[in-house]
Structures are given as structure tokens and as C-alpha cells.
Structure 1
Amino acid sequence: MHVVLRGDESNGPPAAAVPPPWTAVVDPALRAVVDAVIREPHRPWTIARLARLAGVSRATLVRRFSAATGMGVADFLTRIRMTVAADLLTTTERSLDDIAARVGYRSPSAFGRAFRTTTGMTPARLRRSAAEYGHWPT
């Protein structure tokens, strides 16, 4: 099951056929940011903290990240978190509280709002849909 994150709906190839823009990041400073967020989506990342990790100013990080990926740093962080959450929702039976915490949300309700805004559906609806279509662990 492919979860479309808002912004993927274009007139180009299907989102599943197009690699995410951050996979092509070759700048070592930006690669460090991308890798850190993917490795630890639960951390309380801020642009300032990510800029320090990259060894650049906040303004430089924002400018270079946008130029390299076509998206803002905060959008990237949200997309990674929601992608991880969608995977956990459709491949595990973890609670919403646990999934919210694993992707950096202290509150399941805040997580639910962010998930719905990003994906267009609630976490519960995604989970039901995955179970309905046989995308659930055996």
C-alpha cells in the first residue's frame, strides 16, 4: 500500500516511481541532516539543531536544503515522520501512543492532526484500510 503524502500528487509519474528528492542529496552537510532525521525521527529536531549538525547557519541550511530537495527543512522532517508512522501503522500492531512517540510527538492527538494534514486520512483509517486490503502482518 502506498500512502500519498500531500504534495506528491502531480501530473508527472506516479509518486511510487519517483524517488524522494532527499535521496539524491550529495552535499555532505545536507546528507548528515537527512541521515540523522531518518535514523532518529523521534528527536526534537529544530532547524537550529540541524544547522549545527550540518555546520552551517540556519539561513544557509534552509537555502541549501530547499535548493537541493525542493522542499523546506520542516516539511522534510514532517514527511519523514509521517512516512515512518505510516509504515508502523500498516506493518505493526503498535499503539497510536507508541507510534506518536516513535516519530517525535508527545501527544497522540497532535500526531493524529499532523498525520491527517499530511496524508489526508487519520491514522486509524490508514490502519483499517491496510487491514482491509491484506497489508497487515500475519
Structure 2
Amino acid sequence: MLDPFAQVVTLLQPAAPFSKRGSGAGRWIVRRSQVGGPFYCAILEGGCRLEAEGHDEIVLMEGDFLLIPSAQNFTMTSLLPASAKDIVSTPVLLPNGEHRLGSVDDPPDVRLLLGYCIFRSPDATLLASLLPKLVHVRGVNRLATLMQLVSDESRAQRPARDVVLERLLEVLLIEALRSGGITDTSPGLLRGLADERLATAIRRMHESPNRPWTVAQLANEATLSRSAFYERFGRAVGMAPMEYLLAWRMALAKDLLRREKASIADVAERVGYSSASTFSVAFARHVGVPPARYARDTEYDGALPAEANPLAEAGATA
């Protein structure tokens, strides 16, 4: 059976090349805005608080993993109440390689591994829109095992530690997303797939994106009334059924144009458009450039984008 989540993750190509170990003691606050990249945080010991734009405050405890696929504004603070005078502009780098927040002299109340992962796909923004805005995973045994491996590797001085840590974090990211449907997660594809009836309709869209789907047909696949399906889908996925279908068709179209170098007529047929011209209009409206130009200007080589290390730009993100 086709797996919509696997399709999205395969196209996203998640990687975690940028991470650092942090610790906090006493009272501290770190604020970040307009970061943009996918932010993750693994709590290795102790706990802290996090408040992201559009979400209630979360108390993060040992074993928790948090992922914000498109981080904008968020604040991390100590469990102890903190005020404006406790805001940290630049963490202190300790001899053990940890970036310390708050008191340098006191034993840490929290140890964490965090950073910015990347989605190597040029369609990252489009595909990330299909994911939850925030994934908070707690109490998942498989994730706890991965967290322990990450924790052990981050403390060790073994050969190729950074390479191993990056690979472990990639698996951790995927496991966190996969676990998101049964844990604390905001609307997105994962919550939709956790709903058995909606999952059936979503799988049908992914299996046959070329079919001229209507809301009524998809509701029938989900064995729900049209109105109940529309409301339930929007509440779980965070967008209307036809909006989701369009986003998925455009993600597929971009991948076909970039990776397979398929003709515009072929792509149009494979993603559900009656003609190349109709597809070209829809693609240009959604993506911002005509498909012919997109195919000409985009070269797929599977390499990481040539970007600066986002941690260096993030400064005091612990």
C-alpha cells in the first residue's frame, strides 16, 4: 500500500548537519525570530520551557523531542521563572563544548541537543506546508532509544562522531515525524493520516493524483458526508481537501520536471490536468514561474544547498 508520509519524506530529503550541545543553569531566556529553517531540540537531561508562535507554552522534559518544520518566532526559558534581565544574547562556550545559558558556575538544570536541520529538496517550503507546524514527541520507546544513542554519541570523542551524529539525527527527525500522528502535533499530514477515514482519502489522492477528484468523491472514499469530510479534513490537516491535493500535485510536478526531466505534457497528464496549457497556467500561478522555465533553471544533483551554517546565523539559539 502506498505510504503518503514516506512520499513526502522522500521528496523532502531531511538532513541534520548543524547541531550543538547546550546546557542551562539558573534563570535564562533565549528568544529567536524569523529563523525560517526547521528547528529541532532533543532534551537529554532535565527540562526547560518553549513557546512558539501560535502555540501554547510547552514544558520540555528529558526524553522529549521537538521539531518545528518552519521555525519563525519562539522563546526558550529555564523552568525557573525568568525576566527580561535574564535574556541571553550569546551563550558561554564551556571547555566541554557545551553552550551554557544562565549561570556558568552552577550545575546544569537542563542538557539538550539542538540546531537547524535542512530539507534538501528545492520544494521544501511547499512540502513543509503539508507537515504539522510543530511536532512534540514524548513517551515513544523507539524515539527514547534513538535519543539515548544521540546523547551517548554527542558526549563521546569517537572517530567520525559528527558524521554518526548527523545520521542519527536524520533518523530521529524521521521517527519524530512518523510518531507525530499519535503524539502532541498540530494540524498537518500526520494528523490526517492518524484519522483512519481521512487516511483512506489521503492515500487515494497520493495513489492517483491524475484522477479528477472532487470533494464528494473523496468524502465517499472516507465514507463520510461531503460536509463532514470537508470540516474534518480541514481541522486535521490544516487546509481544505482540494488545497492539499493541489499542493501535492505541484510537489510531484516539480519533482518530475527536475529529477526525471519529463515533458510538460507528460507531467500534466501524470498530475491530473487535461492539457499542457491548463497545467502550465496552474503551475505558474502556484509556483511563480512557468514549468518550462522551472525545468530549465532547476538542476537536480542531490547535493546539499550552498548555504551558510544556520547555527552561525542563529547566534544564541542554545
TM-score (norm 2): 0.37
Q: Matched residues in 2 for 1:107 and 1:116: separation?
A: 14
Aligned position for 1:82: 250
Q: Matched residues in 2 for 1:24 and 1:109: separation?
A: 35
- Would you tell me which structure has more strand in proportion to its own residues? 2
- Would you tell me which structure has more helix in proportion to its own residues? 1
- Calculate the aligned-residue CA RMSD, in Å: 2.5
Q: Matched residues in 2 for 1:32 and 1:117: separation?
A: 29
Aligned position for 2:200: 32
Gaps of 5+ in 1: none
Letter in 2 for 1:111: F
Aligned position for 1:128: 296
Paired residues, what number?
A: 127
Aligned position for 1:113: 281
String of CA shifts for 1:27-66, please: whole Å, max 9, x gaps.
1010011111011100111111100000001101110000
Higher relative contact order (CA 8 A, sep 6+): 1
Instruction: Select which of 69, 73, 84 maps to 2:241.
Output: 73
SS in 2 for 1:106: coil
Q: Matched residues in 2 for 1:79 and 1:123: separation?
A: 15
Gaps of 5+ in 2: 1-120, 135-172, 178-186, 303-318
Q: Tell me by how many angstroms 1:24 deviates.
A: 3.3
User: Is the Cα–Cα contact under 8 Å of residues 261 and 295 in structure 2 kept in the other structure?
Assistant: no
- Identify if the C-alpha distance between structure 1 residues 121 and 23 changes in structure 2 by more than 3 Å, giving closer, same or farther: farther
Q: Tell me by how many angstroms 1:129 deviates.
A: 1.8
Aligned position for 1:95: 263
Q: Matched residues in 2 for 1:68 and 1:35: separation?
A: 15
Q: Tell me by how many angstroms 1:93 deviates.
A: 2.3
Aligned position for 2:223: 55
String of CA shifts for 1:48-106, please: whole Å, max 9, x gaps.
11000000011011100000011001101101111111110001122110100000001
Q: Matched residues in 1 for 2:236 and 2:215: separation?
A: 16
Q: Matched residues in 2 for 1:49 and 1:31: separation?
A: 14
Larger-Rg structure = 2
Residue identity over aligned pairs, in percent, reads 35
Aligned position for 2:122: 2
Runs of 4 or more above 3 Å deviation: none
User: Is the Cα–Cα contact under 8 Å of residues 92 and 136 in structure 1 kept in the other structure?
Assistant: no
